[in-house]
Amino acid sequence: LTKSRFREETKMKKKVVSLLVAAMTVASLTACGNSGSDAPAANQEPAPAEKQEAEPAPAESQAEAPAESQAEAPAPAADGGTISVGFAQVGHESDWRAANTKNYQDTFSAANGYELSFVDCDNDHAVQIETVRGFIEQELDYICIAPIQSAGWDTVLQEAKDAGIPVLIVDRAVDADPSLYTTALGCDMVAEGEAAGNWLAEYLNGEDANILVIEGSVGASATLGRTEGFNNIVSQNSNWKVLDSQSGDFTQAGGQEVMESFIKSYSDFNVVVCQNDNEAYGAMDAMDAAGITYGVDGDVTIISFDATHDGLQYTLDGKITCNVECNPLQAGFAEDVIKKLQAGEAVDAWTLVVDEAFVAPGITSKYAVTMSQEVLDGRAY
């Protein structure tokens, strides 16, 4: 349990830091209570004259521009005026998210010529929709959205398109007509779920599996994809049974809560799939409290997703046996798209952020890299 206190303390420290740093919100957009309103928000300064020239051509002249010709967004103003980017971020639910947020703030910095309007939407879809509406009203040059859930985006995406503002769907996917946004980028969540399943089949080598799944946030493409991918492999193994599958909302508290309820209902499980590292930390705390052993030397095999630093430390320690990565350092891909659009170049409709899987020391797999201290030391997040 001391582990979780350590984790809680680090998380609290991280949260304080990310709240302070994440306070860059557009004044009228303190949509999410935790926007760190007391921290300085650089973009609340009066916009210097030259910034106006960096604004895209007046909306009406782009309004009728169909998505494919949005590439004609103007090149940066001759004097290199700043480019305004709105980022409606999922929230602050996980270590992965913190790394993703920091990566966007580091990339879209004032020093790099950007004015970032960052809003932490606190896992609330309605807040995220209103945040995007606010970006449209502000007539920002670009809008990035990491959608909390896949459904419910058509209307506001149409509004952004009508306003002639290029929209980048990042990290997670939306269930909307692709002509309603400029580009999408992120990991292949179905492939991640299948990687976990394929590794498990290789590891169990024919043994039965009674599986409990702690899913991510309801309706998130990361949840839907990982569940679909893993179940594709479950259906290929007739001696595997998924006993239960509940959402832990991608948080440590959620993972612990769901695992505690699973422990009350099931006693014959030998595999727990956590759809992100923070849920795995919570599940481990719950199993510790119940005296259930896990890891390479335990009764239960834990599979996790995200391959964050702490998650890979547990994999190196043999507590998490398999950890499937989804790389959070994606802001560079978003910046590449914006630079191309600024230069009037066409952009790809989809950019895949590649990832891999990791397994505990002592295990060799054709689906995953065997963890070592060097692998851990070599990680960028």
Judged by the rule CB under 6 A, the positions of this chain that interact with ligand GZL are 93-94, 96-97, 171-172, 186-187, 222, 250, 276, 305-306, 326
Q: Which residues are CB-contacts of 97 (< 8 A; sequence separation ≥ 6)?
A: 89, 90, 91, 250, 328
Please give the structure tokens belonging to residue 83: 């480019």
What is the per-residue binding string for Zn ion in 119-138, x denoting contact by CB under 5 A? Answer: ---x----------------
The closest residue (CB) to Zn ion is 122
Q: Binding partner of residue 171 among Zn ion, ligand GZL, none, CB under 5 to 8 Å per kind?
A: ligand GZL
Q: Does 93 bind Zn ion (CB under 5 A)?
A: no
Residue the block writes with tokens 């481990």:
284
Q: Binding partner of residue 122 among ligand GZL, Zn ion, none, CB under 5 to 8 Å per kind?
A: Zn ion
The residue among 242 and 253 lying less far from Zn ion, judged by its C-beta, is 253
Q: Binding partner of residue 172 among ligand GZL, Zn ion, none, CB under 5 to 8 Å per kind?
A: ligand GZL
Nearest in space to 178 (alpha carbons), one of 154, 155, 162: 154
d(CA 318, CA 186): 28
d(CA 354, CA 331): 14
Please state at what angle helix 309-316 crosses helix 95-107, rounded to 10 degrees.
140
Q: Does 249 bind Zn ion (CB under 5 A)?
A: no
Q: Binding partner of residue 279 among ligand GZL, Zn ion, none, CB under 5 to 8 Å per kind?
A: none
The residue among 93 and 130 lying less far from ligand GZL, judged by its C-beta, is 93
Q: Binding partner of residue 141 among Zn ion, ligand GZL, none, CB under 5 to 8 Å per kind?
A: none
The residue among 95 and 122 lying less far from Zn ion, judged by its C-beta, is 122
Residue 213 has φ and ψ, to the nearest 5°, of: -120, 125
The residue among 93 and 194 lying less far from ligand GZL, judged by its C-beta, is 93
d(CA 378, CA 262): 36
In the complex, minimum distance from the CB of residue 196 to Zn ion, in angstroms, rounded to a whole number: 28
Please give the structure tokens belonging to residue 19: 């709240």
d(CA 195, CA 16): 35
In the complex, minimum distance from the CB of residue 97 to ligand GZL, in angstroms, rounded to a whole number: 5
Please give the structure tokens belonging to residue 236: 């290929």
The residue among 157 and 326 lying less far from ligand GZL, judged by its C-beta, is 326
The residue among 36 and 186 lying less far from ligand GZL, judged by its C-beta, is 186
Distances 280 to 119, 215, 245 between C-alpha atoms, Å: 27, 11, 14
Q: Which pairing describes strands 142-145 and 183-186: parallel, antiparallel, or unpaired?
A: unpaired
The residue among 84 and 252 lying less far from ligand GZL, judged by its C-beta, is 252
Residue the block writes with tokens 């004609």:
72
In the complex, minimum distance from the CB of residue 302 to ligand GZL, in angstroms, rounded to a whole number: 15
In the complex, minimum distance from the CB of residue 369 to ligand GZL, in angstroms, rounded to a whole number: 18
In the complex, minimum distance from the CB of residue 325 to ligand GZL, in angstroms, rounded to a whole number: 10
In the complex, minimum distance from the CB of residue 222 to ligand GZL, in angstroms, rounded to a whole number: 4
Helix (H) / strand (E) containing 184: strand 183-186
Residue 246 has φ and ψ, to the nearest 5°, of: -130, 155
Binding site residues, Zn ion, CB under 5 A = 122
